[in-house]
Amino acid sequence: MTAEVNKGPLLGIRHLQALLIFITITAVYIGRLNVGVSVVAMTNAESTNPDFPEYDWTEVEKSYILSSFFWGYIVTQFLGGYLCKQFGVKSVMFWATFASGVCSALTPLFIGWGGWATYCGIRVLMGCAQGLVFPCIHQHLARWSPPEERNRLGALSHTGIECGNVLSMFVSGMIAKGPMGWPGISYVSAGVAFVSCTLWFFLAANNATESRLISEAERKYIESSLKHGENYHNAIIPIPWRAIWTSVPFIALLLTRCAETWGLSTLQAEIPAYMNGVLQMDIKDNALFSALPFMAMWIMSYIYLVCADLLLTSKCMTLTVLRKTFNSMAFWIPTATLVGIGCIDVNQKTVAIVLMTLSVGFNSGATIGSSLNSIDLSPNHASILMGIVNTAANVVPIVTPLAVGLIVKDSGDRTQWQIVFTISAVIFFVGNCIFLAFGSAVSQPWDAEDFLLRPEPELANPPALSEKPESKKTISS
C-alpha cells in the first residue's frame, strides 16, 4: 500500500510543468526557425504575396541573416545557467520568452528601416534572449522529475522542438503566401510567444515545494525521490569546474552535441533554399515539403519515447545502452540519407523529399540519445552543463550557413549542395563514434552536493562498467 502511495498521482503538476516546457520550446522555435522561409519569401516576391517589398540580397547576405541568431544565442548560455540558479527558473524563462516575442514583433519594422543588416541585428537580440531558455529547461526538469520519470518527462517536453520545426516551416509559408505577407510571419510568432509567457507566468513553479497547485501526495513523491538535503531548494551548490572539465563522459557529450547541431542546423536552415534552388519548388510547395521532414521528426519522437519506456521498464537495457543505441540510429541513418540527397537532381523530387524526411525523422532519436544526457551526468548542475554544451554546440549554426554561403554560389547547382550534405554526413558519423566510445548515462561523482567540501575531491574519471552503484547517486541528487 505504501509503495502505491509513493508512486504519486498518475497525472499531476509535474506533467503540467513538462507541458509548459513543451509550449515554451514550441514558441521559441517558431521565432527561431521561421527565418528560413522568411528569407525566401522576402527575396522572391513572385512565389509569395507581391504586395509586400522584395529585397535583392546576395547569397552571402542571406547566410549572415540565417546565422545571426546564433551570434547572440551563444553569448547568454552560461548566463542562463547562472541566472536560473540565482533567481529561479520561473522568472528567467518568463523574461527570456517575452523578450524573444518582442524581437519577433519588431522584426518587420527593423527590416523596413535598415534592410538585411538590421534584420541581423534583431536576430542577434532574439538569440541573446533565447540563449537563456535551455539551461533553465534542464534545471527545471531536474527539480521536477523523479529519476524514474526523468527520461519520459524530458523527452515529452522536448518534442516541442519538433512541433516548433513543423509550425515554423509549414505555417510560415502559408502566412507569407496569404494576405499578411512575410511580415505576418513575425507577428504570428510574437503572438505565440506572448501566449506562452502568460501560461508560464500563472502555472509554472520553480519546484514542487513552491507550487500552489500541487497535491501533498505528489509533492512528497517528487521530493522524496530526489533525496536531497533539507535546504536544497534555497542553497546554491558550488560548481566543481575542474571536475566537469576533466570528465570524459561530459567531453564526449559536448563533442556529440556539436556534431548533432551541425547536421540538423544545415537541414533546418537550408532545406527551403535547396528546394527552391535545386528542386525548383515555389514557396507554397516549399513550405509544405520543408515541413514534412519535421512532421516525421515529431511523430518519430513519440515512437522513440514509447520504445525507450518499454525497454527501460522491462530492464532490457541500461540507460547508458539505451542512449547510445538511440543516438546511433539518430546519427547514422541520416549519415546515409544525406549522401543520397546530394546525388539527386530536379527530376527526382519525390526521392529527395523521402530521403530528407527519413533523415530528419530518424534524427529525433538524438533527444533521448544525447540531448538529455546532461541531466544524467549531474542533476544538480544540469543548467551549468547545458549552458556549456549549448554554448559550444551553437557556435556551429553560426558556421554552417556561412560555410554553405562559401560553397553554394549558385543555389540551383546540385554538385555544390552535394558537398554541403557530404560534410554533414561525415560529421554525424564521427560524432556518434565518440559518444559510443566515451559516453555514459551514469551520475558522476562530482554531482554530489558536498563534493567540493570533501578533503580530497576525486577527479572526474569515467564511471565503472557496472551502473548499479552509481545509479543510486542519480536518485540522491
pLDDT value, residue 47:
63
pLDDT value, residue 10:
77
- In this prediction the pTM is 0.77
Of 101-115, 381-395, 454-468, least confident by mean pLDDT is 454-468
pLDDT value, residue 232:
60
The CB density around residue 346, as the number of other CB atoms within 10 Å, is 13
Distance CA 471, CA 406 (A): 47
For all residues of the chain together, what is the average pLDDT? 83
Of 58-62, 270-274, 295-299, least confident by mean pLDDT is 270-274
Q: What is the mean pLDDT of residues 255-284?
A: 76
Q: What is the mean pLDDT of residues 161-184?
A: 84
Cβ atoms of 274 and 417 within 8 Å: the answer is yes
Selection from 76-80, 274-278, 353-357 with the highest mean pLDDT:
76-80
Distance CA 459, CA 357 (A): 43
The residue range of the domain holding 125 is 2-476
Of 114-128, 239-253, 368-382, 401-415, least confident by mean pLDDT is 401-415
Cβ atoms of 263 and 427 within 8 Å: the answer is yes
Q: What is the mean pLDDT of residues 212-232?
A: 80
Q: How confident is the model at residue 272 (pLDDT cuts 50, 70, 90)?
A: low
Tally of structural domains, the chain: 1
Q: How much of the chain, in percent, has pLDDT values that exceed 70? A: 86
Domain harbouring 287, CATH code: 1.20.1250.20
Q: Which three cell numbers stand for residue 37?
A: 522561409
Distance CA 310, CA 320 (A): 15
Q: How confident is the model at residue 281 (pLDDT cuts 50, 70, 90)?
A: low
pLDDT digits (tens, 9 = 90+) for 115-136: 889 999 999 999 999 999 988 9
pLDDT value, residue 228:
63
